[in-house]
Structure 1
Amino acid sequence: MLTSSAAVAAGLAVVLTSAACGDAAGAKGGGKEKVTLMLNFYPYGDHVPYYFGKTKGIFGRHGIDLKIVPGKGSNAVAQAVAAGKADFGVVDTAAVLTSADAGVKVKSIGSFFQTSPSAVQFFGGSGIARPQDLKGKTVALTSGDPYADVLPAFLKANGVPAGEVKTVSVQPAAKIAAVISGKADALVGFISDQGPTITEKTGKPTGYLLFSEWGVRTLGAGLVASDRTLARDPKLAASLWRATSESFAAAVKEPDAAVASMEGASPSLPSRTVLAEQWKRASRLLHTKRTASAAPGLNDEADWNDTIKLFAGLGVIASAKPATTYWKPVGE
């Protein structure tokens, strides 16, 4: 059964435009709802559709006056949304699950990256072409990151004993430096993030082993809303979902214009070349086999159940609960 879903608490957050709006689901302004979307991190290629939708007037046509602000990780964004400091947020699905299990009152209204971008990334020419080539290698990851917890499942699924792969834990921002310096042979991260940046910094091509292509499939980031907003203003959540879905479709159709729309988004914005490669990679990840013909952000309950089961099996969440514990479809 296909149903639309809310953006994952780990992936996208729409924050209220001012603290004064913090306990409301948006504020009226000029006939439109003022809504602040909090991203999961600093702006980069995954966020192209939001900026393009704003620039192209898609959110405006749905009655939303959108403000986009950076976040500091999916877990922090989920907490901000639940606390009424944000209307919606971009949150990764793994963080939606762990946040909800910890009592954070948020739900996804749709995963837009329905194939997770999580992967092992490395320099081309490193001798790594398949999971078995990681034997004897050192992989940089961040302890506590749910996708670092997926690495053992990825190795097991491909017949690689975990003890034959060394891991080194570093802060998220240090993973790129670890690979460039040679401290690590590879890193666990998003193919739509670190790889293109490493190539620009070094002039060397990078490769990756996408978890989903090697037997470990999970949903990625999407939009989240607080339980309070979903109860008080379900129409606003549905309008945001529809505008976001249209924005993703538009960004796929017009990638050059979509990337250009991010100009000036942040002092630390990646270069146009990196953004273009990041979005090119990210745009491959919008569907699963079950949702191949569906609109962006329209999820299948079976994909949610598969993701929940995997994370429960890894001990990331305590048990496999029904998908509706974490996900509230609002689209069509």
Structure 2
Amino acid sequence: MNRQRKDNAMIVRSLVALVAVLLAVPMLFADAVAQPKPKISATLRIDWIPGSHHIGPLLAVERGYYAEEGLDLAVKPGKGSGATVQAVAAGSDLFGFADAGVMAIAASKGAPLIMVANTTPRGPNGAITLGPKLTSPKELEGKTLGMVPGEASQAAVSALMAKYQIPPTAYRVISVEAASKVPALLTGKVDVIPGFRFGDFLRAYAQNKNTKITLFSDWGLNILGNGYFVTTGTLAEKPEMVKSFLRATMRGWKEAMADPKAGVASLMKAYPETNREFAELGLPMVFEHMQSEATKGKPLGWMADEDWRVTLEVMKGAGLEGTSPPAKFYRNVIE
């Protein structure tokens, strides 16, 4: 009888222990699930003071999309595409957003860089004028053009003139400082300035509503605009992190397209000194450049070999070295 009691007591103790273990398992599992994944701290260095073509990442930061992907991302202003390219190549910033042609020139000279998405495949560069909009490149003959020495637009103008067989003697070029480029047009010092639609054009338009722009892409010369890039080492060693960055970035852009007011609000919140009118006018323009003829029907950010071929050919006039194929300069990581 005593033995039976002992056996029963042992069985009860075993059952109690088993129940305790079973109850503890879900709690341990819940604790494991509840533990947040460690976030990777990273910076996205953009090309300039934040504006309408930088809104996607800013909205993604505000809504926590990078955090959901395990990234603690900070968007940092830049001082031109060239400086941004150098910063990423040197490892000072993990991600960069800059002119595709400028990045390609650096990569052709040995910088370990590769573009992983481009949100302005329809080139935003064009000829900016006051008064009637230019309808043909031939109308540039006899005009005075104001250009900043070494700017990306300079190579585009040279390529355009060559394409339409307009000799250098048919027009005049005046060198201007970056800060005086738009004023030179507005004051009549020059007849034409090349520049981005949501950059120099908007700066001029905000001051004179008679400002017009004709895109070089409308004249058959589509040069890629800004895109996101990393070092080749980052892409090779951390491809999933790059994909995570792009998922969050494109999510931000898609939501900005669905709700432009929220997009502009995110820019104003992050950088209150921004000109709101400038941003509100520019954002719809940015959307119009998110697909080129060659990328229509493809995911946002996807790049076409054809667009890269044209861009690289033009950039030869701006210092691009070698004859490497487009595949050296970009990789479609967008899923």
- Aligned with 1:242: secondary structure? helix
Match of 1:162 among 163, 168, 171: 168
Of 137, 140, 157, the match for 2:143 = 137
CA contact (8 A) 2:299 2:334 kept: no
Partner of 1:7: none
Q: What secondary structure is seen at the aligned counterpart in 2 of 1:116?
A: coil
Give the direction of change, closer, same or farther, for the CA distance of 1:79–1:140 in structure 2 (3 Å limit): same
Partner Cα separation in structure 2 for residue 48 and residue 241 of structure 1: 14
Give the number of equivalent residue pairs: 300
Residue 189 to residue 230, structure 1, CA distance change in 2 (3 Å): same
TM-superposed deviation, 1:189: 0.8
Match in the other structure for 1:322: 325
Give how far 1:243 is off: 1.6
Q: CA deviation at 1:46?
A: 1.1
Tell me the percent identity: 27
Alignment check: 8 A CA contact 1:38 1:77 kept = yes
Deviations, residues 207-245 of structure 1 (Å, cap 9, x unaligned): 111011101112111011112322321211111112222
- Residue 234, structure 1, aligned to residue 231, structure 2: no
User: Contact 2:43–2:75 at 8 Å: present in 1 too?
Assistant: yes
Q: Deviation string for 1:234-286 (max 9, x for gaps)? A: 211111112222222222221122112111433652x2111111111121111
Change (3 A) 1:124 1:49: farther
2:250 to 237, 245, 256: 245
Where 2:291 maps in the other structure, the secondary structure is coil
Q: Which whole-Å deviations, capped at 9, do the CAs of 1:81-107 have from their partners, x for residues lacking one?
A: 111110111111111111112222211
Partners of 1:189 and 1:315 in 2: how far apart? Answer: 16
Report the RMSD for the aligned CA atoms in angstroms. 2.0
- Return the match for 2:287 from 283, 286, 289: 283
Instruction: Using the TM superposition, give the Cα deviation of residue 315 of structure 1 relative to its aligned residue in structure 2, in angstroms.
Output: 5.9
Deviation, 1:325, is 1.5
Q: Are the equivalent residues in 1 in contact too, given 2:143–2:191 (CA < 8 A)?
A: yes
Kindly indicate whether residue 64 of structure 2 is the aligned counterpart of residue 71 of structure 1: no
Q: What is residue 254 of structure 1 aligned with on the other side? A: 259
Any unmatched runs of 5+ in structure 2?
1-35
1:13-162 matched pairs, under 5 angstroms: 31-125=38-132, 128-162=134-168
Matched, 1:196 2:196: no
- 1:200 deviation in Å? 2.0
For 2:220 and 2:189, locate their aligned partners in 1 and report how far apart those are by CA, in whole Å. 28
User: Is the CA contact 1:158–1:214 (under 8 Å) kept in the aligned structure 2?
Assistant: no
Compared with structure 1, are the counterparts of its residues 34 and 251 closer, same or farther at alpha carbon in structure 2 (3 Å cutoff)?
Answer: same
Distance, in Å, in 1 between the alignment partners of 2:331 and 2:291 is 18
Q: Are residues 276 and 267 of structure 1, via their aligned partners in 2, closer, same or farther at CA, if it must alter by over 3 Å?
A: closer
User: Aligned in 2, Cα 1:302/1:68: closer, same or farther, shift over 3 Å?
Assistant: same
Structure with higher helix content: 2
1:42 Cα deviation (Å)?
Answer: 0.8
Aligned to 1:215: 220
Conserved? CA contact 2:224–2:311, under 8 Å: yes
1:273 counterpart = 2:277: yes
TM-score normalised to the size of structure 1? 0.84
Task: Show the counterpart of 1:16.
Answer: none
Residue 60 of structure 1: CA displacement? 2.5
Deviation for aligned residue 1:150: 1.4
Which residue number corresponds to residue 14 of structure 1? Answer: none
Deviation track 1:175-233 (CA, whole Å, cap 9, x = no partner) reads 1111122211121110111222222224x331111011101112111011112322321
CA distance in 2, matches of 1:201, 1:267: 21
Structure showing greater radius of gyration is: 2
